[in-house]
Amino acid sequence: MGVLKIVVTGAFNSGKSTFIKTLSEVVPIETEAKITTYGRRLKPTTTVALDYGRIRVADDLVVHLFGTPGQRRFSFMWRVLARGMHGYILLVDSADPSSVDEARYVYAFFRRNWNLPHIVGANKQDLPSALPPEHVRALLSVPPDTPVVPLVATDPHSVKSALLTLVDHMIEWYAKKSEQSRHDAVLSSQRLL
Amino acid sequence: MAVCEIDLDETLKSLEKELVDVLRFSGHIYFLSLFDDRGNLVVSTSTNSHRLMDLVQKLVQEHDTIRYVEIEDSSHKVYALRVEGNFVVCALTSNEARSGLVKLLLHRLSLRIKPILTELKDVIAQQEVTQYSEVLRDLLRFREFLRGVGDGSP
C-alpha cells in the first residue's frame, strides 16, 4: 500500500482548515474518525482537534493530509504530525501583516526541522489588502527555488491549483533525490570493485 | 444546527477522579483552548462571569467560524455559545463550577486528539523508511489523479 503524507501548516487563521475543507469539494476526502466511549454519547463520529483528510487515489495508494494547530503552544503537535511527511504547504494570511511574524516563526520551525519539498500559499488574495505573493516571499525569506503561489482557500480551483503546484514541486524534488541516490549507489559499488 | 447535549452533573462527577492538567492563573483566571467539531480552533480565556460577555463579543469578532451566539441563563447559570459545527461551549458562573468546566473542556480536547493519533500512529511512523523512488512513483500517480478530478473528467 502506497502512502503519501502532506502537511498543511501556517499561523493561526491562515486558512488551513478552509484549505482542507475546500479541497474536499474537489476531491473526495474522508475526514471522520471514530471517537471514544465518552464522546460517543454525544455523537458517533467527530472531526478531531487537528484537521485531517484522507484521499483514496486507488486501492493501493492513499494520501493523508494533516492540518496543524495554528498556535505556538501546540507546537508539540507540529512535530508529531509532521513526522514522516513527504512535503508541506505553508499558508500565510496575506491580508494580515500582523500575522507575518507568526508565519515566519512557523516557517522557520519547519525549515529547521525538516529539509523537505514545500511551497508557500499566499492566502486571501481575494481581499483588497492582500500582499502579492512576491511580497510574502520577501517577508518570509522564501528561497528562490521554492514556489510561492497566490491562493484563495475558499476557491476550489485555487486550492486544487496550489496542491498541484506542491505535488509538481515534490515530484521534481524526489526525482532529484532519487537520481542522486542512484548516483551515490553506483559510486559506492565502483569503490567496492 | 444541532446542539450537543452535555449532562454536566454526570460528566463533572465522572471527571473528579481523573487527573486533568488545569492551567490556573491568579486563582480566578483559567486559560482554555477549544476546538469546534470541524477542527477549527476557538480560543477562549475564561475569567469571571461579568467578563463573559466581553469574551463572547471577542469570539464573534475574531472567529468567523462562529456564526452566531446564543446566551442562555438556566437555573444552573449555564451560558452556552453555539458555534458552527454544533459544538457548544458552556461557562458556569461559580468558581467551583467553572473549575469543573475547565476540566471538562480540557478532557474533551484530549479525547479529540488521542484517538486520531492512536489510529494514525502507524501512518505517522512508517514514512521514514520509504524510498525516494517509491515516493516519486506515488506522487506521479497522485498528480494524475488530481488532474482528473474536479474538471468533469471521469
**pLDDT over 90, % of chain A:** 50
pLDDT at A41: 39
Going by C-alpha positions, the residue among A9, A70, A17, A20 that lies closest to residue B40 is A17
**B40, B123, B139 ranked by CB distance to A174: nearest:** B139
**Is the Cβ pair A5, B37 closer than 8 Å?**
no
Flag whether pLDDT at A192 surpasses 50: no
Higher pLDDT, B5 or A88: A88
pLDDT digits (tens, 9 = 90+) for A51-78: 777 888 999 998 988 888 777 766 766 7
The answer to whether the Cβ–Cβ distance between A175 and B145 falls below 8 Å is no
Element (H, E) at A82: helix A75-82
**What does the pLDDT look like over A102-127, one tens digit per residue?**
999 999 999 999 999 999 999 999 99
> What pLDDT score does A118 carry?
98
Lowest mean pLDDT among A75-79, B75-79, B121-125, B150-154: B75-79
Residue with cell 489510529: B119
What is the identity of the amino acid at A85?
Answer: M
Contacts of B86 in chain A (CB under 8 A): 43
Rounded Cα distance between B110 and B87, Å, is 15
CB atoms B149 and A26 under 8 Å: yes
Is the pLDDT assigned to residue B70 strictly greater than 90? no
Which range among A161-170, B91-100, B140-149 shows the weakest confidence by mean pLDDT?
Answer: B91-100
Does ipTM come in above 0.90? no
On whether any CB of chain B is under 8 Å from the CB of A58, the answer is yes
Q: How far apart are CA B116 and CA B39, in angstroms?
A: 12
Report how far residue B123's alpha carbon sits from residue B1's, in angstroms, rounded to the nearest whole number.
Answer: 34
DSSP label at residue B18: S
User: What residues in B contact A2, CB-CB < 8 Å?
Assistant: 134, 137-138, 141
- DSSP one-letter string for A39-59: HHTT-SEE--SSEEEEEEEET
Lowest mean pLDDT among A31-35, A80-84, A112-116: A31-35
Alpha carbon B143 to its chain centroid, in Å, reads: 33
pLDDT at A84: 79
Question: What mean pLDDT do residues B97-120 have?
Answer: 47
The answer to whether the Cβ–Cβ distance between A48 and B138 falls below 8 Å is: no
**Stated length of chain A:** 193
Q: What is the pLDDT of residue A184?
A: 63
Q: Confidence class of residue A21 from pLDDT cuts 50, 70 and 90?
A: confident
Query: Which grid cell sits at B136?
Result: 516519486
On chain B, the residues whose CB falls within 8 A of the CB of A170 are: 135, 139
Looking at the predicted structure, is the pLDDT value of residue B3 above 70? no
- Contact between chains at B115 and A4 (C-beta distance less than 8 A): no
Whose CA is closest to B69, among B59, B77, B39?
A: B59
- pLDDT category at A158 given cuts 50, 70, 90 is very high
From chain A residues 83-102, the ones with a CB under 8 A of any chain B CB are 83-86
Lowest mean pLDDT among A157-166, B22-31, B98-107, B108-117: B22-31
Indicate whether this model's pTM tops 0.95.
Answer: no
Nearest-angstrom CA–CA distance, B131 and B147: 25
Chain A neighbours among B 47-76 (CB < 8 Å)?
65
Please report the domains of chain A, with CATH numbers, ordered by start residue: 2-192 (3.40.50.300)
Q: Least CB-CB distance to A36: which of B37, B40, B111?
A: B111
Strands B78-83 and B87-92, by their bridges, are: antiparallel
* CB atoms A51 and B39 under 8 Å: yes
CA-based radius of gyration for chain A: 18
Instruction: Judge whether residue A86 has pLDDT over 60.
Output: yes
Question: Is 90 exceeded by the pLDDT of residue B32?
Answer: no
